[in-house]
Amino acid sequence: MTECCAPSPLILPPRPDRLPLIREAFCLEWLTIGWMTIEAVVCIGAGFTAGSLVVLAFGLDSLIELASAGVLMWRLSVELRHGQKFSERAEDIASRIGGGLLFALAIYITIAALWSLWTGTGEVFSWPGFIVALIAIPAMRYLAHRKIAIAEKIGSRALRADAIEAVTCGWLSFVVVVSLAAQWITGAWWIDGVGSLAIVWFLIKEGREAWSGSECCCY
């Protein structure tokens, strides 16, 4: 009598219509890693050199973006190897990590901004920080736009959380540019602290959605 063997789990590759999107997401994450490495090295160094809190915070935000990009690379690799069904657990883990990183960034920005306002100290003008932040505005806009579009199409909360961090980086770069320019022209030291606090609510809102597993929505 022939023995019956339990069928082995069928590992299906991603659907053909998802493959181009996943590959594009990979390319976007590699671009993110490359740019964030430059951003982190330049801004952290410039922040310490100039004693600039806002430039230093911008550089530390780049480190969080690097960690988020690494998590997304892992999540996308799982789907490429095992298919969409097998990526669900990875999606949940990656989404929670992305949410946690957004919370961490919100906490850091809040503490740094309040400390700056409490001590009455603002940033010293930094040309390296100013140039990098200026370039980051259009770069982050492009990355965030494409990541959000792909996240909606493949239903990835983790990719959306990563895209929101790109949006945040874009806003932070704008704050850095405006605050550095204002400090240089008018000596208004408090602008960087107030501007940074203005986006904390956005970080908390998106962090909660990523952590709780809310569905992606249009942006």
At 106-119, the pLDDT tens digits run 888 888 888 878 87
CATH 3.90.180.10, applies to 19-212: no
Q: What is the pLDDT of residues 54-109, one digit of tens each?
A: 788 788 878 878 887 888 888 788 777 766 554 567 667 777 887 888 888 888 88
Residue 156 carries which side chain, given as an amino acid letter?
S
* Spatial CB neighbours of 171, under 8 Å, sequence gap ≥ 6: 199, 202
Token pair 């590992």 is at which residue? 11
Q: Please tell me the distance from the alpha carbon of residue 142 to that of residue 123, in angstroms, as a whole number.
A: 28
Predicted confidence (pLDDT) at residue 3 exceeds the cutoff of 70? no
All structural domains of the chain with their residue ranges: 19-212
2: tokens are 């022939």
Tell me what the mean pLDDT of segment 189-209 comes to.
76
User: What percent of the chain is predicted at pLDDT more than 70?
Assistant: 83
Predicted confidence (pLDDT) at residue 13 exceeds the cutoff of 60? no
Buried b (16+ CB within 10 A) or exposed e, 184-208: eeeeebbbbbebbbebbeebbebbe
Say if residues 169 and 61 touch (Cβ distance below 8 Å).
yes
Q: Which of 172, 53, 47 is nearest to 106 (CA)?
A: 172
Q: Please tell me the distance from the alpha carbon of residue 210 to that of residue 100, in angstroms, as a whole number.
A: 8
- Structure confidence at residue 217 as a pLDDT band (50, 70, 90): very low
Question: Treating both helix axes as pointing N-terminal to C-terminal, what angle do 157-185 and 88-119 enclose, rounded to 10 degrees?
Answer: 20
Q: Please tell me the distance from the alpha carbon of residue 114 to that of residue 152, in angstroms, as a whole number.
A: 35
Who has greater pLDDT, 4 or 149?
149
